[in-house]
Structure 1
Amino acid sequence: MLVFNTKRDLKEHLDKLRSQGKRIGLVTTMGALHEGHLSLMKFTKEDSDVLVCSIFVNPTQFNNDDDLLKYPRPIEQDISLLEKIDCDVLFLPNVEEMYSEPEQWHIDLDGMDTILEGAFRPGHFQGVTQIVKKLFDAVEPHFASFGQKDYQQYVVIAKMVELFNLPVELKLCPTVREPNGLAMSSRNVRLTDNGKKQALALSAALRSVSEKVRGGAEFYSKLKQEAISFLENADGVELEYFEICDRETLQPVDRPQNDIKLVALVAAWVEGVRLIDNMFIDQPD
């Protein structure tokens, strides 16, 4: 695996491969890699000649300085994991490389950056689109893969790609879960064993809603309130939101509609760690 710290050296290497007709796939990460990331990279590697992974803890998407400071950065472990799955290229820039001079960034995301995650993390998705645009420009991938666990991020990035008419295909990889159902996350390492058990309430609430929708429930607003009540009474869980939304617009849906696809999304704190999860829901035929 080759490691590049500058955009110039990365571009020089990838331009040679592109000229040979190689197909380049990209997975953007902030490090602290786990099996979910590795599954995403294996998924990407199947459809590419060159797998590029970026590791960059992006300061502009954190609205909490303490959260930024606490974000895990086990780079030696990450490199070892990438080598084991035969990643071809690691792009490992520092902050000065990605933000060499002060800049202003704000794009119109049709309000999708101010709801759900955006409501609790103001400016987060502006920071996400800012760095992903930089990484797309640096790598110029044929396609980039994202995990479903960060579904709102995927929708927002798709909007950014549309706005800039970028020549990159986006792919969505299913969420990887622990055997008990907990969605894998870099933040899980900060949870105790008891905290991980308490966090199972999130996936339990999602599964319950999914089963009731498939069973023919007519009022999604009622299901939402039931899930909220369950989570607010769950031991150790401090709920931020639970919503049932249209997958495309992320707008709330309160009753069955044949022409839309659903996603339920949740965010909560457990042991001082902020966790998110979501689940696609199939409506009955």
Structure 2
Amino acid sequence: MSRPVLRFAPSPNGRLHLGHALSALLNARMARALGGRLLVRIEDIDAARCTPELEAGVLEDLAWLGLDWERPVRRQSEHFSDYRAALDRLAAMGLLRKTFLTRGEIARAVARLEEERGAPWPCDPDGAPLYPGDEAVLSPAEIAAREAQGAPFALRLDMRAALGRCKAPLSWQELQDDEARGAPSRLAADPARWGDVVLARKDTPTSYHLSVVVDDARQGVTHVVRGKDLFEATAVHRLLQVLLGLPEPLYRHHRLILDADGRKLSKSQGDTALAELRARGATPEEIRRRIGLDPDA
């Protein structure tokens, strides 16, 4: 029987903070408890923000925390052909929409639609307005002109058509604690709440949603341990797994590390990095205590 496989998958667009430390250490702890394997995957599809220097810093932080993982690491930037193949499969099923509306055009269209409806436009679980369709703004001639001009575009999953291919209600298995004790619960998945999600763009050949399910399948990941901020996204991932015939892992969405204002820590907000804490004299054991783990975890 094959061993369980877990992974920690950071994006090297900044240095790791306490929230990343919690996720990495929980993955390592569960891998040990299950007698499984721990992988590190570098999610570097954002070529503008992800750099080799930041990747080196991420791996340095993980080693300092005491993690040991299998080599080599998988870098998403080296596997764009895998994501292209998945997109081609979805396109062959008639499930992709090539769309041209910019974010500004979507915002203006939504404002107009809200005024016409006299009611708020629906938003996805992250609070962004659902894509209203190019037809809400552009005429068929304008859409054809943008296509002919090679304008920037997004490849979106046609959510209605995709759900029409599912023969049973979607769900996933959620582990009940960070120790993987007890039987998982089966939770209902409602990807329709996300609308026609973006799976790729003209200048970025994949998205987080697509690459994460392809990578997990390629690497044989059996347990996905990640923060609660990605709980709702699991519905989209389960849909893509079903459409692409990929295996279903077990999930655990752990607690988040919050700042004094109750906000999730974020690299983009400049929250204190592990490297800075280390420079101030912090030890790995102190980091564990600070995030609520046993120093020996």
TM-score between the two structures when normalised by the length of structure 1: 0.46
Q: Which structure is richer in relative contact order (CA contacts within 8 A, separation 6 or more)?
A: 2
Structure with the greater alpha carbon radius of gyration: 2
TM-score between the two structures when normalised by the length of structure 2: 0.44
Q: Which structure shows the higher strand fraction?
A: 1
